[in-house]
Amino acid sequence: MTLDISYKAEHITQRELEVLYMVCMGYNSKQIAEQLFISELTVQTHRRNMVKRLGLRNSHQLIVWAFKERMLSV
């Protein structure tokens, strides 16, 4: 899995991008935590931070934003 951060979201960390990729692929927080060897709370914090930083209202908008901006390349 290769993930790239585009200029459109240079303020998103690599770890947040990994979480975002998995969210977009349909994984829930528990599954993401298990795959990345972090706590479920940490996953939720990454999601919340991205939503806040981008001025969005929820994770659904985060997913839509990610696809619209073509943030993910696999």
Rounded to two decimals, the pTM is: 0.82
Residue 55 phi/psi, 5-degree rounding, is 75, 30
Q: Of all helices (H) and strands (E), which one includes residue 4?
A: none
At residue 11, the pLDDT reads: 80
What are the tens digits of pLDDT across the range 7-62?
456 688 999 999 999 999 999 999 999 999 999 999 999 999 999 999 999 999 99
Q: How confident is the model at residue 73 (pLDDT cuts 50, 70, 90)?
A: low
User: Angle, to 10 degrees, between the axis of helix 29-36 and the axis of helix 14-24?
Assistant: 130
pLDDT for residue 1 is more than 60: no
